[in-house]
Structures are given as C-alpha cells and as structure tokens.
Amino acid sequence: MRTTRALKPIQTTKNVENILSCTEEGQPLSPMARMFHKPESNVYIITVIGFQTRINPEVVKANLVDTFLKQPRFSCLQASSVADEKHGGLLKWVRTEVDLDNHVKVISPDLNVDSPDMYVEDYVSNLSRTKISMSIPMWDLHLLNIKTSKAESVGILRVHHSIGDGVSLMSLFMSCSRKVSDPDALPTLPTSKKQKPCSSSGGLLQHFIKLLSVLLIYWNTLVDVVLFLITILFLDDTKTPLKGPPGVGSTPRRIVHRIVSLDDVKLVKNAMNATINDVMVGVTQAALSRYLNRKYGKNKKGGGGAAGNSNLPKNIRLRATSFVNLRPYLGNHEDISEMMKSSSNVKLGNLIGYVLFPFTIGLREDALDYIRSAKATGKRKKATLEAIYTYLMAKTFNKFFGTKWGGFPTQTTLWFSNVPGPQEEITCFGHEVAYIAPTCYGQPNALMIHVVSYANKINIIVSVDEEIVPDPHQLCDDLEESLKLIKDVVIYKGLVDCNVY
C-alpha cells in the first residue's frame, strides 16, 4: 500500500519570505474578477480529483499551509466599504487570518451506500446549490474517503472564479504535484509548437503576403466585433433542447464526466493534420448533433445515423462562448515551469478573453466533416483579435460603468473550455492522482463542456442545468461514441498506419 508524505519543495532562487504580507492587500478586484460576481454570472470553478489511495487529511492540511496559503488571494477576503472614497465601495482584497477548519471539510460518508459514484455526483451537485461566505477567503476543499469505480477517494476543490482562471489554477495545482515516476520532479504541461519567425529578408511578394495577413486579421476582427455587438443586442441562438432561459446562471448543476483515450484523439489529430482542440470541438459538434437529433425525433423510431434520417431543424444557430488564455498576447511571458517551482510564484488572476464559436449542427454522411468544420472555424478564429477585444471591453465597461454593464453573453447555448493538464501521472501532496475533472457552475448557460488532458487520458466534463438537460450521462455517451465513430472512419479510410496505432 502506498503511503502519503509531505510535499518536498523545489528549490528556487526567488525570495518568497514576504509573500504572506498579501501583496494585493487593499487593492480593488480587477474588472474581470468583478465580472464573476455579477448575479447572472456568479461563477465558481469546481474540480473533482480522484485519488488512487485514501486521503490523509492531516497531510493535506499541512501542505496547504506551505502552498495555497502562500498565495495572497487564498488568504484574503473580498470585502467592500462604501466609506472608502478611494475605491468607491468596490470589492477589494483584505488580508485575514485563515482558519483551515473553515475551508477543509473532511466528510465521512456511509461506506455502505448503494452507489458511491452517485453519492459523489450528488454531493457535487449539492455544492452547486451553495455559495461560499464572503466572510472568509472564497475557496474550500472537501475530502471524501469513499471508493468509487474510478478512484479510492475523492477531493473536491471549489474556488470562486474571481480568484483565478483555469490556467492559473492549473499552474497552482501543478506546483503542488510531483511525477509518480520521479517524486522530486515537477510534472510538465503540453506545449504548442512555436512557429518559426519569418525571415526579415525577402522579396516584394513576401512582404505583400505579410501585409495581406495583417489586413486579414484586422478585417476578421472588425467582422467579429460587429457580430458580437449584434449578438449582445438581439441575435440569440436557436431555441433548442440545450438552450437555457434567462436567469439560468443561478440554478444548480449536475456535473458528470467521461474519460477517453488521448491516443485516440491524437490518432485523429495526426490523420487530419489538426490540433487536439480541433478534434475535441469536432467530437462535440458530432455529439450535440446526435443528442439533438434524438430529442427532436423522440417520437419516431430510431434516431437516424445518416443525413437522410435527420430529425433536426434546418439552419440551427448554436454557438459556444469559448475561452482563450491571453497571457501570450498581453505581454505576460512568465515561464510556467519556473512559476511552478514554488506555489508562491504562481500568479493568479483572470487573463482570459472569449470568442463566439459557431458549432455546425447536423448529421453528416462523413463523420470527418465534423473535424474539417472545427478545423476551419478554429483557423478562422485564430486570425482575429476577438478574444482580446472582449477582454478589453469587459475591463472598460466594468471600470467605468460597474458590473451593471458588461458581462458574459447570455445569447449563446454553451460554454466551452479546453485546458491542458500534466503529461505524466502525478501525485498531489503525496496522493497519487487517478483523474482530474474541473468545470464551473454559476455561468449564464444551461450547458458547459470542459476538456482537460491528464497523462494518456482526456476527461470530458459536462455541467448542466438538469431542468434543461435532464440526461447528462446520455450526452457523455454521445461524446464517447462520436470520438469512436470518427476514429473508426480514420482507420477505415486508411488515413493512419494501423500497425503503428
């Protein structure tokens, strides 16, 4: 049986002795952080972590002191003072003493429950009905020593989104982790291949092509900004069984997840010369098409697997609010591997923008069309500054007009997010991790789909309002089956070396 141990810190040359002074104390929350306090988008990030061993609560608490509590935002209240003329009563960071007993909840479930998986699922769902008191730093950790089908125990970390976005929280989590294969080494994150810079030398044709590329980006941005403004004013998505009504952000969520093979995703990626994100968007388009076709044809026999059997209305407008990490674009070039050497080095915050990503809904004769469509749309969205615009717009509106103006669009059908996780199997505070399942609740949509990689697996997490989407496990089945179908088509068409696979 494995034993847990305290986390051995990685040596770093940076001086972190004064980190507990809370460098953000007295500073107002950023405009993006305040957006996550709006009544219609009071968003929490909730991460379910499965472990291969039973959790030792005392080991976890001891390690939290040297990791999470060295982060100012995990040690500060978010308080307001109308009398504070300098900040006009805005929420600001206020240093406080942290009592871990207020944040770490050790749950002793009945070990004879009929379905441990459903017990954990219900527990998470019940958490989505509650909010963390603003009288303490807005995070908590729930430890459940209950064996499920996928893990020996489960930890549930809940953090208000104002503290940080998915990328910064993943970096913090990674700083608390070590490789299973090397207990003294930090895990690594997948890195995208950097494009080689174009040579400054070249003929007139090369300079002309560069100019056209720049003009195309500005043109695409103009088109996207106009479409964004039209969306905010009146352009709503088609009312489908997945589209929630206004006010859906305050409803409880049912959160389920499905683990698929990263190798299967890479097989499709390589065959289609696409990215991991392209493949997962394509799989999601296929799954939503299957799901909606079944819903629209529920009174008919069969759902149809080809275009001739489609029950779908024509011209469905279905878009995702898709989030983009802006750190590479806003001059924030800190080396994540350096930041992860100490939890206190990780810079939390919300440096994210978003784009309105149109999903193609329809049944296709060729399942690879879903990937081709996702790839084309993804390429188009990379040639635009839409994400930076939405970020700057949110900052501007919240800074000058308060949270009454500016916010996340309610006209889209879902939120979609893809965050890379550790490439190797890891331990966290000495506990070996079986899976990682982050998602959100409080968002102004009835559906969120989150994708995260871990070692040789990909976890697809679905967060739904059960009044709108009463069968999230069926949606997970559709996601899993869609990936299998697309992979089978790739192999059938000979687009990959099956012997290598």
Instruction: Judge whether 272 lies within some domain.
Output: yes
| Higher per-residue pLDDT: 302 or 67 | 67
Domain shared by 287 and 171, yes or no: no
pLDDT at position 153: 96
On the question of pLDDT at 16 being above 60, the answer is no
Residues 254, 217: one domain? yes
Burial group, residue 136, by CB count within 10 angstroms (0-12, 13-18, 19+):
middle
Band of the pLDDT at 298, cuts 50, 70, 90?
confident
Reading phi first (left if > 0) and then psi (alpha if -120 to 50, else beta), residue 132 is in beta
Task: Tell whether 170 and 252 lie within a shared domain.
Answer: no
More confident residue, 413 or 346: 413
Model confidence at 501, pLDDT cuts 50, 70, 90, reads: very low
Q: How many domains does the chain have?
A: 2
- The single residue of 37, 142, 161, 450 carrying the catalytic annotation is 161
pLDDT tens per residue, range 417-427: 998 999 999 99
Please give, one letter per residue, the 3-state secondary structure of 203-264: CHHHHHHHHHHHHHHHHHHHHHHHHHHHHHHCCCCCCCCCCCCCCHHHCCCEEEEEEEEHHH
DSSP bridge pairs for 325:
352
More confident residue, 308 or 297: 297
CATH code, domain with 359: 3.30.559
CA separation for the pair 57, 444 (Å, rounded): 35
Supply the pLDDT for residue 197: 53
pLDDT at position 329 over 80:
no
Average pLDDT over residues 142-159: 96
> Residue 105's Cα: distance from chain center in Å?
24
172 and 244 housed in the same domain: no
37 included as an active-site residue: no
Q: What is the dihedral of CA 106, 110, 116, 122, to 10 degrees?
A: -70
Helix then strand count (H, E) for the chain reads: 11, 15
Average pLDDT of the chain is: 86
What CATH number did the domain enclosing 155 receive?
Answer: 3.30.559.10
- Are 354 and 390 a contacting pair, CB within 8 Å? yes
- The pLDDT of residue 13 is above 60: no
Q: What is the pLDDT of residue 192?
A: 62
Average pLDDT score over residue span 90-101: 90
Query: What pLDDT is recorded for position 111?
Result: 73
Above 90 in pLDDT, residue 308? no
Whether residues 269 and 372 fall in one domain: yes
**Span 107-127, pLDDT tens digits:** 987 777 889 999 999 999 999
Structure tokens at 332: 């924030």
Per-residue pLDDT tens over the stretch 51-63: 999 999 999 999 9
- Tokens 């011209």 correspond to what residue? 315
